[in-house]
Amino acid sequence: MSSRAPVTPSDYIDKVTGRTEYITDVEVPGMVHGKILRSPHPHAVIKSIDASAALEMPGVIAVLTGADVSALNNHWGLYLKDRPVIAIDRVRYVGEPVAMVAADDERIAEEALEAISVDYEPIPFVTDAAEAIEASAPLVHETHDTVKDFYFKGEAKPVAGTNIFQHYNYEHGDVEKAFAQADRCFEAKYEFPMVFHYAMEPHCVIASFDSGGLTVWSCGQSPTAVQKVLSRVFGMPLARIRIISPNVGGGFGGKASVKIDPLVAALAWKTHRPVRVCLSISESMLTARRLSASIRVKTGVRNDGAILAKSVSVLMNGGAYADTGPAVAVKAANRAIGPYRIPNLKLESTAAYTNTVPGAAFRSIGGPQAVWASESQMDEIAEALGLDPLEFRNRNLLRRGEHVRPDLRPIDVEMGEAMDIATREMAQLRASDSGSETHRGTALGISDPGIMAVSSVLLRLKIDGSVAVVSNSVEIGQGVREVLRRLAAEQLKQPVDAVEVLTPDTAIAPFDWGTGASRSSLMMGLAIADAAADIRRQIAEIAAIVLEVDPQSVELCEGGIAIGNRKKTFSELLHAYFGIDSGELVSIGRVSPHSNAGKLTQAPLFWETAAGQCAVAVDEDTGEISVRHYVSVADVGRVVNRAAAEGQDEGATIMGLGHTLSEELVYQDGQPVNATMIDYHVPTIDEVPENFVTVLIESGTGPGPGGMRGMGEGAILPVAPAVANALAEGYGIRIRKLPLTPERVWRAIRERKER
C-alpha cells in the first residue's frame, strides 16, 4: 500500500455536480446541426440520391452526399486507405453514412432525412468472417491500398483478390516436431462475439472552417491522429488544423484513432458554417465495435504438465473498413501466448472484411479474445492431466526476466505472486460464505501494449509558483489529468494544488501519439520528468547568476528554492533575474524510442498483466450465472492515484463481465438486430459481484517515474475464462462460445445431465 497522503482530485466535484464541460456543452457562434442518413442495406450500389425535397424545407441549410466530396482526398484510413469520407458509389454495411443534412436545429435536420430519396441496387454481402475468406465470397473491397507507419508502426499485409486485409505469421522452434514428441495434444476452437464499447457519451464532433483554417472540437482519444487525417483529406497544412478535446465521456478505444471527424468536417466545409453532430447510442453502435474472433488453439504437453508447443490460429471479423483491425489481429496472436514458457510456438492471425460495422480498437486490443481461448484451454488441459489448474499454470509460468517471445522484452512482473495473492484473497471470501455453494475459476492475462514511445509535454512554471501542464493526453474518465497533475507536482516539488493541467489543444500542446494502449500516464510521466529536469536546470543557472551560488547546491522546495538553510521564492528569484515582477520558465519534455539511452526501442515498453479469480453459482433451472466474488490482482509498478487506479481495474473487470455474460452485437440477414439500448444489455449494478477485491502490487519495476507502468486494461483479460473455468469445475460443462447467456448455460447443463 502507498504511504502517500490522499489528495482530492481537482475535477471530481465538477464531474459529479455536472459542471464539467463536454462537447455537447460547447456552443460555437453560428453553429448549425447535422444529422446522418444511413444505409439500410449491408451491401448495395448507390444509383442515385435525390435531396431536392429536403433542401426545400425551411431551416435546411445544406445536404452533403458523395458527389460533394470528389474535390477532396476522399478516402482515408489508418492501415488501409479504404474509407470514404461519405459513401460515394456504394455502401458496405447497414448504418454507413450516405447523406448528411445541416439545419438550424436537430429536429429539422432529422425530419429532412426522411425527405431524401436514395435508389439502391442491393448486391451480395457477407457478414461472417469464415465465409468472407472463402474464394466464392463477394468482395467488400476490390483492392487494398496500404498505408505504412500512419498510426501504429508497420504496414498491414492484405491478400490480393480476397477479403483478407491482414495476415500475420510468427514462429519459433519446431512446433510440428514438438507436437509429435508430446505425450498429449489438445485442440479446440473458441468464439468471441462482436461487442459495442458503450461509452456513456456517444460520439460528438463540432467542426468550423474560417479564414484561419479548420477547428474541430473532437471526442477522439487521439487529437493528433484526427489532425493528420483531416490534413490529408482537405489538403491543408497541419498548422492550420486545430483539434480541441474537452472532457470525453468514455472511449475504451471506440473513440481512438479517427471516427466521425472527417464526416463532420466535410459538412462544415460545404455549409461554410460551424456544424455540430452528436450521435445517439444506436448510431454509435453503427460506428465502431470490438472485432469478433474465432480462435483455434493447439497445445502439446508432457504427462507431467510441461508445455512443449503451442499453435494459435486467429480469424477476426474486421467489418467493412479496416480501421485499427490490422493491429488488433497482431495483438490477438501475441496475447494468446499467455505468461507461460513455450519453447515451440506458432502464431497465425487473419482479419477479414465483412459487411458489418467496422471493427476497432477496444480495451486491450485483441486481448480478451485471445485470453478467452488460451486460458479456457489451460483448465481443460489441467483437468485432462489430473492436475490442479493453479499447479498446472505454476509449472509453466515465466519468471521475471524470462522471454514470452525471444524478440520481445523479457517479462517484468512475477505472475506467480499475483496468482498467489488472488488465491489467498478468494479463499478468505469463500470462507465467509454461509450456506451457499460457489465454485472457483482462475485465469491469467498478459498483454504487450501497443504503445508508441512518441510523446511531448509543455511545462510552464509561473513566477507565483503555479505550474501549467500542457499536453494532448485526453481525459476520457480514466483520470489522466489528475495523474499528470500529481506527477508534475512531484517532479517540481510543488503542492498538487499549484498545478493545473490544461485541456488538450493541438494549437498549443506539443505532439503526442494519443490516449490509449495504457500509455498516457506512463509516457506523459516520462515527458514530464524530462521537462522538469530542464526546469530545474534553468532555475539552478538563474540562481547561480542572481545569488552567486554553485548551481549544484540549488534545490527546489515548495514555492521556490533552497540553498542549504537559505530560501528564496520563485517570485523573488525571477523578479531579480528579469528585472520586473513577471515572467515564467518554459520547458518541453520529449520522449522518443531513443530516449533513456535507447531503452524504449524494444517492444513492449512494459507488460500489462492481471490475475483474476471468481466464485460463481448457477441457477440450474434457468442457467443464470451469479458471480458472487471476484478478485483482481495486477502489478502496476507504482500507484499514483489509488482511488482512480482501483476504479480503472474494477471498471475493466465489470466491462469484462459484459462480454462474458450478455454482450453480443447480433446480425441476421445482414442486419444488426439488437443495436439499441433496449436490446443490448450491459452489466448493471445488480450484476456486480457481492464481494470485489482489487489488489495493486507496487513492485517499482515499471519504466516510468517511481517505477510506474501503464494500467487500466489488464483486468479485463481474465474475466471470461475465469467464469467459464468455474462453470467447468462446478457444473461439469465446458462452453467455448461467448457470451455465457442463461440459455447457453442451461442447454449445456441439460446436455450434461442427458449424457
Render pLDDT for 307-332 as a digit per residue (tens, 0 to 9).
999 999 999 999 999 999 999 999 99
Q: Is residue 386 part of a domain?
A: yes
Answer yes or no: do 222 and 339 share one domain. Answer: no
Find all residues with CB under 8 Å of 191, minimum gap 6, and list them.
292, 293, 294, 295, 736, 737, 738
The length of the chain is 755
Answer yes or no: do 656 and 692 share one domain. Answer: yes
Answer yes or no: do 270 and 240 share one domain. Answer: yes
Residue 5 pLDDT greater than 50, yes or no: no
Burial 427-444 (b: 16+ CB within 10 A, else e): eebbeeeeeeebbbbbbb
Do residues 296 and 327 make contact, with C-beta atoms less than 8 angstroms apart? no
Total domains present in the chain: 4
Kindly tell me the sign of the dihedral angle through the C-alpha atoms of 653, 655, 661, 664.
negative
pTM: 0.96
Answer yes or no: do 155 and 225 share one domain. Answer: no
Q: How confident is the model at residue 91 (pLDDT cuts 50, 70, 90)?
A: very high
Q: How confident is the model at residue 15 (pLDDT cuts 50, 70, 90)?
A: confident
Q: Is residue 395 part of a domain?
A: yes
Give the range among 176-190, 200-214, 233-247, 423-437 with minimum mean pLDDT. 423-437
Q: Is the peptide bond before 42 cis (omega within 30 degrees of 0)?
A: no
Query: pLDDT above 90 covers what percent of the chain?
Result: 95
- Domain with residue 715: its CATH number is 3.30.365.10
Q: Is residue 2 part of a domain?
A: no
Answer yes or no: do 582 and 649 share one domain. Answer: no
Range of 390's domain?
Answer: 124-197+289-399
Beta carbons within 10 angstroms of residue 600's beta carbon: 20
Burial class (CB in 10 A: 0-12, 13-18, 19+), 692: middle
For residues 63-88, give the mean pLDDT. 97
Instruction: List residues bridging with 445 in a β-sheet.
Output: 610
Burial 294-315 (b: 16+ CB within 10 A, else e): bbebbbbbeeebebbbbbbbbb
* DSSP, res 716: G
Q: Tell which of 566, 598, 630 closes a domain.
A: 598
Q: Is the peptide bond before 739 cis (omega within 30 degrees of 0)?
A: yes
Angle (nearest 5°) at CA 528 between 522 and 529: 90
Answer yes or no: do 370 and 433 share one domain. Answer: no
In this prediction, residue 141 carries a pLDDT of 98
Residue 449 pLDDT greater than 50, yes or no: yes
Residue 194 pLDDT greater than 60, yes or no: yes
In this prediction, residue 542 carries a pLDDT of 98
DSSP conformation letters of 272-295: TS-EEEE--HHHHHTT-EEPEEEE
Answer yes or no: do 281 and 298 share one domain. Answer: no
Q: Is residue 327 part of a domain?
A: yes
DSSP conformation letters of 312-348: EEEEEEEESS-TTHHHHHHHHHHHTS-SB--SEEEEE
In this prediction, residue 1 carries a pLDDT of 32
Cell match 528579469: residue? Answer: 578
pLDDT tens digits along 489-517: 999 999 999 999 999 999 999 999 999 99
Answer yes or no: do 314 and 177 share one domain. Answer: yes
Q: Is residue 8 part of a domain?
A: no
In this prediction, residue 14 carries a pLDDT of 85
In this prediction, residue 4 carries a pLDDT of 42
Cα–Cα distance list, 332 to 112, 314, 364, 445, 569 (Å):
43, 7, 9, 12, 53
- Domain with residue 105: its CATH number is 3.90.1170.50
Q: How confident is the model at residue 2 (pLDDT cuts 50, 70, 90)?
A: very low
Q: Is residue 683 part of a domain?
A: yes
Answer yes or no: do 235 and 382 share one domain. Answer: no
How far is it, in rounded angstroms, from Cα 260 to Cα 218?
9
Of 110, 113, 71, 112, the closest CA to residue 88 belongs to: 71
Burial class (CB in 10 A: 0-12, 13-18, 19+), 567: middle
Q: Tell which of 551, 576, 598 closes a domain.
A: 598
Q: Tell which of 556, 576, 598 closes a domain.
A: 598
In this prediction, residue 421 carries a pLDDT of 98
Residue 3 pLDDT greater than 80, yes or no: no
Instruction: List residues bridging with 294 in a β-sheet.
Output: 191, 315
In this prediction, residue 641 carries a pLDDT of 95
Q: Is residue 407 part of a domain?
A: no
- The three three-digit cell numbers of residue 745, written as one number: 448455460
pLDDT tens digits along 711-723: 999 999 999 999 9
Answer yes or no: do 374 and 422 share one domain. Answer: no
For residues 633-649, give the mean pLDDT. 96
Answer yes or no: do 696 and 727 share one domain. Answer: yes
- The three three-digit cell numbers of residue 114, written as one number: 426522411
Answer yes or no: do 206 and 142 share one domain. Answer: no
Q: How confident is the model at residue 8 (pLDDT cuts 50, 70, 90)?
A: low
How far is it, in rounded angstroms, from Cα 417 to Cα 635?
9
How far is it, in rounded angstroms, from Cα 199 to Cα 264?
20
For residues 43-64, give the mean pLDDT. 98
Q: How confident is the model at residue 140 (pLDDT cuts 50, 70, 90)?
A: very high
In this prediction, residue 452 carries a pLDDT of 87
- The three three-digit cell numbers of residue 168, written as one number: 500475420
Q: How far is CA 634 from the centre of its chain?
A: 18
Find all residues with CB under 8 Å of 136, minimum gap 6, and list them.
none
Residue 583 pLDDT greater than 70, yes or no: yes
* Average pLDDT, rounded, for the chain: 96
Residue 519 pLDDT greater than 50, yes or no: yes
Q: Is residue 3 part of a domain?
A: no
Find all residues with CB under 8 Å of 162, minimum gap 6, and list them.
133, 135, 137, 139, 352
In this prediction, residue 7 carries a pLDDT of 53
